[in-house]
Amino acid sequence: MFYVYEHIRNDTNAIFYVGKGKANRAYTTKNRNKHWHNVVNKAQGFTVRFVVKDVDEELAYLAEEERIDQLKILGIKLANINAGGAGVGSGDKHPMWGKPHPQRGSKRPYGKYKRGADNPRYGKPSPMRGIPKPKGKDSPLYGRPRPEGGGKPSQAVIATDKDGNKFTFASLTEAGKAVNSDRHSIKKWCEMNKFYKGFNWEFSK
């Protein structure tokens, strides 16, 4: 049977690694990447916390992927090289090293973001079900101030027509709606200070 574990820094109690394994894998320092060792050396050690125990390998992979995804959404930087679900080595240590991909030439039956009945996980319980989310001092965000406004402030935009008339928009989205375009195109032309949709675009200073 397998388990999913987290490594926690001894100096800040922050999670910095999520892994899947069995036996004593959670406690060993062997076969860890360089970034993992740098964090452990700086933190003067680590503590192990188990996310889920006594599950089969497939479920452990799923729980590992989902936990890594949860922490990344929270903005927590991990020492993991990949997004989980692998754990089979890299380079010439990988069992498929030098071999053609077994699905070469065949189409995948579903996309990564399929929803509803088309999703292979449809109707199946989440591997994280029953696992409580860390709260209080156990939360990796404990003690961190909440950012004001919920994120980056909107960037004001100035559009100048051929006659020199200037129009100011509070955000890229607002400017895009005004000229029936999208915020990404407006941003590109502001960065290049180019003429587009009858206006010369620039960010407000």
When computed from its CA atoms, the radius of gyration of the chain, rounded to whole angstroms, is: 24
Return the minimum-mean-pLDDT range out of 7-11, 30-34, 54-58, 93-97. Answer: 93-97
Q: Kind and range of the H or E element at 18?
A: strand 15-21
Q: Say how far apart CA 203 and CA 112 lie, in whole Å.
A: 36
Average predicted confidence (pLDDT) for the chain:
80
Alpha helix ranges (H) inside the chain: 34-43, 57-73, 172-178, 183-192
User: Model confidence at 164, in pLDDT bands (50, 70, 90)?
Assistant: confident
Average pLDDT in the 71-92 region? 71
**Highest-scoring range by mean pLDDT, 15-19, 87-91, 119-123, 177-181:** 15-19
Closest to 12 (Cα-Cα) out of 114, 140, 185: 140
Two tokens at 73? 């959404």
pLDDT band with cut points at 50, 70 and 90 for residue 51: very high
| CA 155/CA 190 separation, integer angstroms | 11
Average pLDDT for residues 146-174, to the nearest whole number?
Answer: 79
